[in-house]
Structure 1
Amino acid sequence: MAVERYRQALPNTKSNDQNQSKSNARTRTKSKVVGIKRGEAIIYLTLMIMITVAAVFVLSSKMDAYELQSEITNVESEIATKNGEIDELNTEVTHLASYDRIYEKAGELGLDLDNSNVKVVERHGKN
C-alpha cells in the first residue's frame, strides 16, 4: 500500500492511470459447447463396436492357443511316459533273452549241454 501512495504522489501519474485502466479492462471470451453430430456419433459407435469385436476375437484366439498348448504338453508327457515303459520292456526282453539266463533255466529244468548234439554248419560260398 505504501508503494501505491508513493506512486500516486509522484507528478507522472499518467502512466499509472494507463496501467490501472489496462488492469481494470477484462477480456471476455465466449465459450461455445460444440455437440457431436449424428453421423460422427454413428462413426464413433461403429468404431467402438469394431474394436470390441476385435478384442474379443484376439482373446478367444489366445484362449484356444493356450488350450492347444496345454493339450500338446499333456500328449508330450504321455509320450515320454510310454517311451520310458518301452525302454524298460526292451531292457527286460534283452535280459530274458540273454544266453546266461537261457542256460540257467535249462539247468533248472534238468537239461544238460551235450556237445555231441551240437552241429556246426559252415556256409560254402562262391569264391
Structure 2
Amino acid sequence: MALHARRENYIQQPAVPQQPERQPVRKKNIWITKGEKVLYLSFLAAFVLCAVLILQNQATIQAASQEIQTIENSIDEKMKQNTDLSVQVSELSRYERIWSKAKESGLKLNDQNVKVVPRQ
C-alpha cells in the first residue's frame, strides 16, 4: 500500500509552462507629513509676505518720486518767474525812465541834493 501511495504522488501531470512569478508592482505612496506641510505653508506664507512688502515699498517709492518731480517742476517755474521779474526790475530802474517819471510828476533836478547810492 505504501508503494501504491507513492505512485499516486508521482503521477505526472501534464506539463504546464510555468511563468516566472511576478512580484506585484508596488506604487510608491508619497505622503507628505504634517511637519512638511507646516514647513511648506510657512515658507509659502513668508514668500508671499516678502512679495507684498516689496510691492508696497515700490509703490511708496514711486509716489515719492512723483512728488519730487512735481516739486522740481514748480521750482523751475518759480525760477523762471524770478528771472522775468528781475529783468523787469532792471528795465524799470533805468535812469531815463526814472527821469521821465520825475518830470511828469513835476520834479526838478537839483545837483546839490543828488546822492549816489551803490547798488547791492
TM range (shorter): 0.5 to 0.7
Report the CA distance between 1:95 and its aligned residue.
1.1
Unaligned runs of 5+ residues in structure 2 are 1-21, 116-120
More helix by share: 1
Q: 1:6-29 deviations in whole A, cap 9, x for unaligned?
A: xxxxxxxxxxxxxxxxxxxx9974
Whole-angstrom distance in 1 between the partners of 2:103 and 2:24: 120
Runs of 4+ in 1 over 4 A off after TM superposition: 26-29
Structure 1 residues 27 and 92, CA, compared in 2 at 3 Å: closer, same or farther?
farther
Q: Secondary structure at the match of 1:30?
A: coil
Give the Cα–Cα distance (whole angstroms) in 2 for the partners of residues 77 and 29 of structure 1.
Answer: 75
Residue 106 of structure 2 is aligned to residue 118 of structure 1: no
Deviation of 1:112 after TM superposition, in Å, equals 4.2
Q: For residue 72 of structure 1, what is the aligned residue in structure 2?
A: 68
- Indicate which of 8, 15, 30 corresponds to 1:34: 30
Looking at structure 2, the residues matched to 34 and 72 of structure 1 have their Cα atoms a distance apart, in angstroms, of: 56
State the TM-score, normalized to the length of structure 2: 0.68
| Paired residues for 1:10-89 under 5 Å | 29-89=25-85
Unaligned runs of 5+ in 1: 1-25, 122-127
Q: 2: distance between equivalents of 1:101 and 1:47?
A: 80
Are the structure 2 counterparts of residues 93 and 27 from structure 1 closer, same or farther at C-alpha, using a change threshold of 3 Å?
A: farther
Residues 33, 109 of structure 1: alpha-carbon distance in 2 compared, 3 angstrom cutoff: same
Task: Quote the offset at 1:50 in angstroms.
Answer: 0.2
2:99 matches 1:103: yes
Task: Give identity over the alignment, percent.
Answer: 31
| TM-score, with length taken from structure 1 | 0.64
Q: Distance in 2 between matches of 1:81 and 1:29?
A: 82
Q: Aligned residue pairs: how many?
A: 93
